[in-house]
Structure 1
């Protein structure tokens, strides 16, 4: 059986990807613990963040696209958030069936509370790492995401 050999860069990237998988799992667990007292999970918090960071109210499909997530999963979580009074649906003037998702006052308060919990936590994680190291890691992860999305210009 002939096996294609990885380049040194391919080996290094494989090691990095495996660490990213492990880190992702640990980040989701830590995020769940961090915001559990607010009635959130990492997934709910992430969707609230996507709503907050959007320039204008968006339908679920756009939120899912921006998160790189499955629309059906985002819809299920948005429905749960709506049931809990954290988001509401508004009529979309551009599409009858694709309602817009907006944060309620309770949703904004909950998101703000999550950010207050996140600041000391993330500052502790960053302790001992230089801004330059973090920015380099960010560039690498962004480049990988762009290539996986087919957005690289190379």
Structure 2
């Protein structure tokens, strides 16, 4: 049965709820911008994220999912598409028989380098509207929120 009580938020809880909503809105805009940056190269924001994660060394799909805060199944679908399109390959994982490692192929590295060039122009344009100190402070706060959420089960 659903409660009929009106929820009471502390000032901090109310501020966090507003921050969470703003981050969700920002996420939508960032995904759309990422899709626009990568579309001319036949990619998407999701593919870009997985390419970028795999560029730091061969990782399993589960490891990439943890790094990106995404579902393993979602990353698996994207990784399979990257392999099909010749941007990445699966390699044996000496630590786990079934969890293969995703490794970028030269074509994937080239695509990622081009995406990063396009992204640099875009982030420089957006970034000049803010102070670097403010952005560093917000990043620090968001990372603290991510750490808190990763440790707190909402149920």
TM-score, normalised with respect to structure 1? 0.92
- Structure 2 CA distance, aligned partners of 1:51 and 1:112? 13
Q: Which of 11, 17, 24 matches 2:27?
A: 24
Instruction: Answer yes or no: is 1:14 the counterpart of 2:17.
Output: yes
Measured after TM superposition, the shift of residue 110 of structure 1 is 0.2
How far, CA to CA, are the matches of 1:8 and 1:95 in structure 2? 47
CA distance in 2, matches of 1:82, 1:2: 51
Where in structure 2 are the equivalents of 1:74-153 lying within 5 Å?
74-150=75-151
The correspondence of residues 60-79 of structure 1 with structure 2, limited to 5 A, is 60-79=61-80
Aligned to 2:46: 43
Unaligned runs of 5+ in 2: none
Instruction: Name segments (4+ residues, structure 1) moved above 2 Å.
Output: 1-4
For residues 5 and 59 of structure 2, what CA distance do their matches in structure 1 show? 49
**Whole-Å Cα distance in 2 between the matches of residues 78 and 128 of structure 1?**
35
2:58 matched residue in structure 1: 57
Q: CA deviation at 1:94?
A: 2.2
What 5-or-longer segments of structure 1 have no aligned partner?
Answer: none
Count of residues in Structure 1 that have an aligned counterpart in Structure 2: 149
Deviation at 1:8, TM superposition (A): 1.7
TM-score when normalising by structure 2: 0.91
* Cα distance, 1:83 vs structure 2: 0.5
**Structure 2 counterpart SS, 1:90:** strand
Structure with more of its chain in strand, by fraction: 2
Tell me by how many angstroms 1:42 deviates: 0.3
Q: What's the RMSD between the two structures over aligned residues?
A: 1.3
Q: Matches of 1:61 and 1:5 in 2, distance apart?
A: 38
